[in-house]
Structure 1
Amino acid sequence: MKHKLVPVAAAIFAALTSYNVAAESGTDVLTDGWEVHGYGSMNFRMVEGESVDTEYGKPDYKTAGTHGKSTNQVEFVIKKHTEHQNGVWSDFVVRSEYGNGNSYAYSSSGSQKDNTTAQFEVKESYVEMGGISYLGEDTSIWAGQRYLNRSAGILSGEFWKQSSGVGAGVQTKLAGNTAGLAVVTADADGTIEQKDDDGNFVERKTLTSVDFYYYGVKALGGSFDFDLKLMSQANQDSDSDSGLGASITYNRDYYGLDGWTQTAIAYGEGVAQNRGVNFGGWSGGDDNAESIFLTSYGVLNISDNWQMGSELTYFAALDELFTAKDLKRYIVAVRPTYKVNDNLRLEMTASYGHEEGAEGYWGRSGDAVESDIINLELASVFTVNADYFGRPQIKPYVSYIKADDEASAGIIGIKNGDDEVVVGVHTEIWF
C-alpha cells in the first residue's frame, strides 16, 4: 500500500522548487568562460663562471643572439570571454608579468627582486565589448591598460611598434579592413615619484598618443597596415611638447619565396622620435628630434628540413635622435635552422651591428664614436616540435660577441678585451 506521506512530500517539494520561466532576454548569457595563455623565458647563462647584467647591446640593434638577461621571466594572460543572446560579447583581459629584466640567479630564500625593486606587475587590464546593436556588428570598444598593436623584429626581439599605457579606443571595419582610433596615456618613466630639491613631487610629464590605424589593405601580392600617431607631453617647454609618428607595414611571403615577411618604414619627430610609432613611458623629445626607421624580417621555408629567419633593420637620426647628432644604427642578422627530427633542431645565428654618431655624442670620443659588433652563435634545440617556432624548447647555446675595439666592447658590457664567450641554456614556452 502506498504510504500517505509520499504524495504530501511530493507536493511540498514541487511548491518549493517551481518558478515561472521568464521570456528569453537579450542579455541572457550564452557562453561564459576563461582562457589562459602565457609566456616563459628562463635563461641560464654564464661568462667565466659569473652571471652578468648585460644584453650586449641587443636592445640597440647591435647583436641578435640568445643572450637576453632575464633569468626567470614569466607572463600570464587571463581572458574572460562572455557572449549574450543578443549578440553582444565582452572580454576582460589581464596580463601579469614577473622577472622581466632581472639578471640575478636567485635561490629559494626571500623575495626575488629586480636588483632592489620588487618586480611582479600587472601589465594589462582592460575590457573590450563588441556586437552592440547601435555601434554595428563589426565594431568594438575598449578601455583600460593594454599593449595596443605590437610588432617586433624576429631576431632583435625589439618591439618597434606599440602603444603601451592606459586609455580607450574603438575598432571597426571600413571597406572590409580593420580601422581603429585610440587614445593612450603614459606617465614618463623618469618623472614618476620624482621630487625636487625641496622634497616636492615634480609636475607629471604625462604623455598622450592619439592613434589612427587602418590594417589589412590588400595590394601588391600582400597586405598593408597604416599607422598614424599624434603625441604630446604635459608640462614641457613649447619646443618639446608634441610629436608625430607614422608607419607603413607590408606583409607578404618571403620576398616571392615560401615563407613570410613583415617590412616597415616609420618616421618620427619630437615626442615621437623613438621609431615614430613606439609609444610608452619612454617617449619624449624636442624639435630637433627626428628619425627614420626601416626594418624587414621573416622566415624562409627552404626545404622540409631547412628554415631561415632573417632581419635587416636601420634606425637613424635625420637631425638628432636621443640628443645624439647624426646617430645611425643598423643590424643584419640571419638564423638558419636544420630539423634533425621532430624533437631536435640545430640553430646557427650570425649578426653584424653598427652604430655611429657625431663626435661627442653621449660623451663619446675616439674609438667609442663608432662601433662594429659581430655575434656568432651555435645552439641545439630540444623541443616537442622542431619547426622554427616550435615551443616549448630547451636550447643549450654558445654565443661569441666581438667588437672592433675595447672602447666599443665596454659600452655593450664586455669587461676584458674586445670579445666575450657566453655559454647558456635558454628555455622558452608560449601557449
Structure 2
Amino acid sequence: MSKICLTAAAVSAALVSASAMASDGVDFHGYMRAGAGISGDNGGMISEAKNGIGRLGNENDAYGEIGLGKEVYNQDGKSFYLDSMLAGGSTSDKLWSGQNPQIVQFNAQAKGLIESDADAVIWAGKRYYQRHDIHITDFYYWNTSGAGGGVENLTAGPGKLSLAWIRDDVDVKTVGSEKAIDQDKTSPTYGQIVDNDTQKTESVNNNIIDVRYAGLGLWENGSLELGVNAFIPNETKSQSDSDLKSESSYMFTAELTQGDLFGGFNKTVLQYGTNGSAEQMTTYGAGMGVKAVTNADQGYRLINWGVAAPSEKIEIGHQLMYANTSFKENQDDHSVYSIVVRPMYKWNDTMRTIVEAGYTAEKNGDLRDGGITSDYLPNTNTGDKALSKFTVAQAWSAGSSFWARPEIRVFASYITDHENDNAFGDSKSEYNVGIQAEAWW
C-alpha cells in the first residue's frame, strides 16, 4: 500500500505543481506510453526484442516521465535553470502495479557565466545527457546519462565542444579459488581439502569522461558529430590489493547527419568499443553499465536511420544496423543485424494508418574454455536467434507529422522466432492485439 501511495502522491504533486505554477514560468515536460492487449497463446501481450524488430505493437508495459523545470535567475545575460524529473513504469496487467518513481533528473544549468561564450552551459547534478536514440525501436545508442557535471556548447572553431564527467558504478564478476572439502563421491580426491573455483562480484566505482564535438558543417545540410567516452574504474585499496584487474574501456562515435533529405533527415553512425564497451556493440548498449574488465575485446557497429517523406501523404521511418564483437579469450565472435521499416499513410491531419515490419538475426559465438577467464564472465550463450515482426495499426494523433503526439493507436502484430519452434509455448509464432497511447510534451 505504501508503494501505491508514494507513486500516487508523486504524480499528483507533479501535476498539481505544474498547473499551479504554469503562470509563473514553470516548464512541464515528460513522456508516457500505456495500453492493454492480448496474445494468442500467452494470455497478456508479449514483448520481444523491440530494439531489433520494432516497438509498434510490441510493448506490454506502462511507462512515464514527469519533469518540472524553471529558470530561477536571469540578469545581465546570466541565467540559472533548475530541472527535475521522476520516471516509473509497470506492466499493463492491472491498475495498482509498478515500481516506486525514480529520480532520473535533478540538476542545475547555468548559461552566460563564460563571458566570451554566451551560449556555453555549465551544469551539475543528475541528468539525461545528450542522448541519441532511434524512436521506432526505442534504441539508445549513445547515452551516458547519470550524476556528474560539465560544460557544453563551448564554441571551438566551426563546431561546439562539450565535456562531462559522469559517475556510473558497475559490478565486476571475477573467478577466484578457495579451500573446500571435495564432496564429489566419484572424485579421487573425495573427502580431501582441494582448491575450488569461485565466482564473486565486486562493485567498482566507475567514471565516464565524455567528450563531444558537434555541429561540424561538411556541406549543405550535412554535419558531423564526433565523440569519445572513457570508462575509468576507480578501485578501492582492498580491490587493488586483491588484484581485481578492472581496466578502462573506450567508446568512439562518429555521427553523420544529412538534413532536408527526401523531406526528412538521415543519420549514419559508426561506433567502436574496447574492453568492457566492446560487448555493448552487439547488446544494444549505449555507454551505461560498461563492465570494468580487462579482456582486450573489440566491437563495432554501423547504424543508419532516419525519416523520409516521399509525398505529402506518406512518411517512412527506418533502422538498419550491423554489429560485431570479437572476444579475445572466452567466446567466438558475436554478430547482430537488424532492419526495421515503419511507413505511414495520412488520411487527414489527425488519422493515419501505420505499418511496421522488422527482422533481426543474431549469431552467438561459441564459448571457449568454459566461457570463464580470471576477470570476465560473459553473458550466457543462448544460441543463434532470428525474429521477425509485422504490425498494422490505425492511429489518431494531434497533427499529421510522423512525430505528432499524443497518438492513440489500435494494432495487431505477428511475431515469429525463426530459430525456436517452441519460442511461444509450443509454437514459433505469436500475435498481439491491443490499444496504446503515447505522448511527449
1:10-25, aligned counterparts within 5 Å?
none
Residue type at the aligned position of 1:121:
Q
Report the CA distance between 1:43 and its aligned residue: 2.8
AA at the equivalent of 2:360: G
The SS at the match of 1:149 is coil
Q: CA deviation at 1:332?
A: 0.9
Change in CA separation of 1:267 and 1:287 when aligned onto 2, cut-off 3 Å: same
> Which residue identity is paired with 1:422?
N
- CA distance 1:391–1:189, shift in 2 (3 Å): farther
Distance 1:52 1:129, change over 3 A: same
**Cα distance change on mapping 1:402 and 1:202 into 2, 3 Å:** closer
For 1:187, which of 169, 172, 195 is the aligned residue?
169
Partners of 1:277 and 1:48 in 2: CA distance: 31
Distance in 2 between residues matched to 1:167 and 1:281, nearest whole Å: 15
Change (3 A) 1:277 1:352: closer
Q: 1:271 maps to which residue?
A: 276
2:402 aligns to what?
A: 388
User: CA–CA distance in 2 between the matches of 1:320 and 1:258?
Assistant: 44
TM-score (norm 2): 0.77
Shift of residue 283, structure 1, vs aligned partner: 4.4
Contact persistence 1:65–1:399 (CA under 8 A): no
8 A contact 1:177–1:216 mirrored in 2: yes
**Deviation (angstroms), 1:282:** 5.1
State the distance in 2 between where 1:133 and 1:210 align.
22
- 1:42 paired with 2:34, answer yes
> In structure 1, what is the Cα distance between the partners aligned to 2:383 and 2:41?
31
Query: Cα offset for 1:91?
Result: 1.1
- Total equivalences in the alignment: 372
- Residues 1:345 and 2:352 aligned together: yes
Question: Residue deviations 1:81-109, cap 9 Å, x none?
Answer: 1343221101111011121xx3242235x
Written as runs of structure 1 = structure 2, the 5 A alignment for 1:154-173 is 154-171=135-152, 172-173=154-155
Q: 1:140 to 1:383 in 2, by over 3 A?
A: closer
Structure 1 residues not aligned, in runs of 5+:
1-30, 192-200
Q: Distance in 2 between matches of 1:380 and 1:387?
A: 15
| C-alpha contact 1:33 1:82 (8 A) present in aligned 2 | no
Amino acid at match of 1:168: G
Where do 4+ consecutive residues of structure 1 move more than 6 Å? none
What is residue 310 of structure 2 aligned with on the other side? Answer: 302
- 2:62, 2:410 → 1: CA distance? 16
1:317 aligned to 315, 325, 328, which one?
325
| Structure 2 unaligned regions, length at least 5 | 1-22, 174-199, 372-378
Q: 1:107 aligns with which of 95, 112, 135?
A: 95
Contact 1:245–1:277 at 8 Å: present in 2 too?
Answer: no
In the superposition, relative to structure 1, how do residues 324 and 46 fare at CA in structure 2: closer, same or farther (>3 Å)?
Answer: farther
Larger gyration radius, structure 1 or structure 2: 1
RMSD: 2.7
**Aligned-pair distance for 1:406?**
2.0
CA, structure 1 residues 127+168, in 2 after alignment: closer, same or farther (shift >3 Å)? same
Q: Which deviates further from its counterpart, 170-179 or 235-244?
A: 235-244
Matched ranges for 1:91-102 at <5 A: 91-99=81-89, 102=90
Q: Does 1:33 align with 2:25?
A: yes
1:418: Cα distance to partner?
A: 0.6
- CA offset at residue 343 of structure 1? 1.5
Looking at structure 1, the residues matched to 307 and 164 of structure 2 have their Cα atoms a distance apart, in angstroms, of 31
Q: CA deviation at 1:340?
A: 0.8
Alpha-carbon distance in structure 2 between the residues aligned to 1:90 and 1:328: 46
* C-alpha distance in structure 1 between counterparts of 2:247 and 2:47, whole Å: 32
Moved more, 231-240 or 291-300: 231-240
Match of 2:225 in 1: 225
CA distance in 2, matches of 1:135, 1:168: 21
Quote the Cα distance in structure 2 between the aligned partners of 1:404 and 1:202: 35
**Could you state the TM-score of these two structures normalised by the residue count of structure 1?**
0.79
SS in 2 for 1:341: coil
AA of the residue aligned to 1:177: G
CA distance in 2, matches of 1:375, 1:97: 29
- Cα shift readout 1:179-236 (whole Å, capped 9, x = no counterpart): 1111100222689xxxxxxxxx975312211111110000044000111111122337
